[in-house]
Every structure is written in structure tokens, then in C-alpha cells.
Amino acid sequence: MTVERTFVAIKPDGVQRGLIGEILIRFEHKGFKLIGLKQLVPTRELAEKHYGVHRERPFFSGLVDFITSGPVVAMVWEGDGVISSARKLIGATKPLEAEPGTIRGDLAINIGRNVIHGSDGPDTAAFEISLWFNSEELSEWTPSDQSWRVES
């Protein structure tokens, strides 16, 4: 397994509904390492770049309206296989189809209010991390209990 980094964001619905702690704890308890964390109201320019692949989709402008409508909690998480593992923790895009135990399966109903974003692959992760964070906002550190999570 390779150590990877991924970009995760709690969308405005998750922040408004007071779900920040509930979501963070799932990544912390899994054992991943938090490398960057900030809350911001994204600009339209940032949101349009972030969702650029969906530019031609009918839901694009509504999605950009929604994601810029309030604070988003942006994060970078690191660990073995974190990119696909984060997607599993998050669950399917349509919350009613997301498995119970996943974030969307437990905490959401509607595709347009699915509380969280996670990068879908290595290239997207690298692009999204550099889009949302400057390098000085990312911390290099070793958790004191690292040897209890990862066999060396």
C-alpha cells in the first residue's frame, strides 16, 4: 500500500447541520492523519474549477450556487490507500443508495445535499489539494501513536 493524500470537504449542508465533528471523527478513528484543515466560503471561481468536470451537466450552476452558499470545511488526509478508503467511508453519491455505516448512508437523503466531497483518484486528489491549499497550510508530522496504527 502506498501512502497517499486526498482532498475531503464538508459541504455547506454538513456545516449548517452541525455535522463537522461527526464527520471528522470517522477519519480520525479510522487512523488517517490530518495534514490540512480550514473553513472558508468558496468563491465562484474556486467552485467552478473544483467541479470543472461537471461544467456541461444540467446541475452544474445549482451545484456551484450550493457550494458557495456558506462555509465549507476543507481537509487533506494522509495514509495508506486513503483515496479509495475515503470514498468508501463517504459512500455512494446518491445518499439513499449509500450503505448504512457510510457518511452519506448515515447522514443524508438527497444527492444535491450529500454533505461531503472526496477526491475520486490520484490525479484528482493532487489537483484538488493544490486548488484548495497552499503548501504552507499543510503540516508534516508524525502522530505519537503512529506505530499503533501502521506496522513499520
For the CA atoms of 115, 78, 86, 6, the dihedral, rounded to the nearest 10 degrees, stands at 70
Q: 85-102 burial string, b = 16+ CB within 10 Å, else e? A: bbbebbbbeebeebeeeb
Count CA atoms within 13 Å of residue 123 on its CB side.
1
Nearer to ligand IDP, 102 or 114 (CB): 114
Query: What minimum distance in Å lies between the beta carbon of 59 and ligand IDP?
Result: 4
Query: What minimum distance in Å lies between the beta carbon of 145 and Mg ion?
Result: 32
Cβ-based neighbour number of residue 111 at 10 Å: 14
Q: Which of 29, 50, 54, 117 is catalytic?
A: 117
Query: What minimum distance in Å lies between the beta carbon of 120 and Mg ion?
Result: 5
Report the alpha-carbon angle 95-77-124, nearest 5: 70
Residue 117: active-site member: yes
> Which residue's CB atom is positioned nearest to ligand IDP?
93
**Could you give the string, one character per residue 94-133, with x where binding to Mg ion holds by CB under 5 A and - elsewhere?**
--------------------------x-------------
Per CB under 5 A, residues contacting Mg ion are 120
Point out the residues that are catalytic. Answer: 117
